[in-house]
Amino acid sequence: MEEKLILFKNRKRFGIEKNIDIIFKNTTLVLSSLVAIVLFGIILVVFFQSFESFSRYGLNFLVTSEWNPVKDEYGAFTAIYGTLVTSLLSLLITIPLGVGTAIFITEDFVPKFVREIVGSFVELLAAIPSVVLGLWAIFVMEPFFREFFVFLHKFFGWIPLFSSEPAGRNSLLAIIILVVMLLPIVTSIARDSLNQVPKKLRNASYGIGASRWKTIFSVILPAALSGIMAGVLLALGRAMGETMAVTMIIGNSNVFSWSLLSPGYTISSMLANQFGEADGSQVSSLFYAAFVLMILSLVVNIFAQWLVKKFSLKY
């Protein structure tokens, strides 16, 4: 062994080849560093562009809802409220639906091929572009839910969330289309987490006479919880940044309303709507809003990654 190594060391490599080796390594090093450069570039550029607006409005920008290019007054509360309320409510609906579907896929209520079909249908749903879902939402979903919204307002109008006459395009429609978009994320991550729960835990539970759902609720879901939580957070980040389908169906109105049946705004739909035509200090205010969106999604994403690392399954 010793001898061979010495032999190899003495064998000459061409100088060029050695250089290529070093160049190749350093090139890949630079390319991988580009990720960090782009990431910091995005944060810095968006931050500096928003500086003008930031120095003018400070944190008031976050809590005032007037957005008036004519008066040159900007506050993003309507969009921030819209972003938070649409993403959180859609998530609230998606979690049980997605986890329920994941349980369906990982349990054996039906033969395996049926479960596989359901699984791949849900994953294919993730491949449908957001803008196409928006188109579908405008022409198919909106008419479908119209009557239901009237009913909702009539009987639940006393709840602030349903207190306005239903508009043709509104926040609730945006929430529904967001559910469609988040479902594949939550389902596939919940499914992976459930699959990672060791079989021996299920055996243990069945072996002492626990029923199927007692086992799922008391043993399997708790063991998969951290993974599911991380998936939920990723979905939340996605929901906050989701642009096209929401922009097309939410109604894009800067008039603040608590009601989900009124047209609303999210940060990303505001950007999509106004960026192309904005000028002057409106541009800086849009960058400010973009910065807020970025910070929100960064925080959520980093927290999700931390959760994955911290609680990756130990048994």
Partner 1 sequence: MNSLYYQKKLSRNVGDKFFTSLSVFCALIAILPLIFVVTYILIKGGAQITPELFTLEPNPPGDDLDAGGINPALIGTLVITTIASIIAIPVGVGGGIYLAEYSKGGPFSKFIRFGVNVLAGVPSIIAGVFIYALIVSTKILFGSMYSGFAGGMALSILMLPTVIKTTDEGLKLVPNELRYASLGIGASMYTTILKITLPTAFRSIATGVVLGIARAAGETAPLIFTALFSYYYIVGFEDLFYEMGSLAVLIYNFALEPYDAQNKLAWAASFILVISILTVNIFSRIFAAFTEKTKRV
Partner 2 sequence: MIKNTKKSQKKNILSLEDVSISYGTFEAVRNVFLNFKAGDITSLIGPSGCGKSTVLRALNRMNDLIPNCSLKGTVLFDGTNIYDKRVDPVEVRRRIGMVFQQPNPFPKSIYENIAFGARINGFTGDMDELVESSLRKAAVWSECKDKLNDSGYSLSGGQQQRLCIARTIAIEPEIILMDEPCSALDPISTLKIEETMHELKKNYTIIIVTHNMQQALRVSDMTAFFNAVEYEDGDGGKVGYLAEFDSTKKIFNSPKEKTTQEYISGKFG
Binding site for partner 2 (CB under 8 A): 108, 112, 198, 200-212, 214, 218-219, 222-223, 314-315
Using the CB atoms, write b or e for 106-140: b if 16+ within 10 Å. beeeeeeeebeeebeebeeeeeeebeebbebbbee
Tokens of 141: 């979903």
With CB under 5 to 8 Å by kind, the binding choice for 49 among partner 1, partner 2, none is partner 1
Residue count at the site for partner 1 (CB under 8 A)? 92
Residue closest to 53 by CA, chosen among 277, 292, 240? 292
Q: How many CB atoms lie within 10 A of CB 165?
A: 12
Q: Which stretch binds partner 1 (CB under 8 A): 63-71, 93-101, 221-229, 256-264?
A: 93-101
With CB under 5 to 8 Å by kind, the binding choice for 314 among partner 1, partner 2, none is partner 2
Report how far residue 281's alpha carbon sits from residue 218's, in angstroms, rounded to the nearest whole number. Answer: 55
Q: How far is the CB of 202 from partner 2 (least distance, A)?
A: 7
Q: How far is the CB of 305 from partner 2 (least distance, A)?
A: 23
Q: Which stretch binds partner 1 (CB under 8 A): 38-46, 51-59, 148-156, 193-201?
A: 38-46
Out of 6, 18, 88, 222, the only residue in the binding site for partner 1 (CB under 8 A) is: 18
Out of 79, 89, 133, 260, the only residue in the binding site for partner 1 (CB under 8 A) is: 133
Report how far residue 77's alpha carbon sits from residue 94's, in angstroms, rounded to the nearest whole number. Answer: 25
Q: What is the DSSP string of 113-146?
A: HHHHHHHHHHHHHTTS-HHHHHHHIIIIIHHHHH
Q: Is 28 in the site for partner 1 (CB under 8 A)?
A: yes
Q: Which stretch binds partner 1 (CB under 8 A): 61-69, 70-78, 196-204, 234-242?
A: 234-242
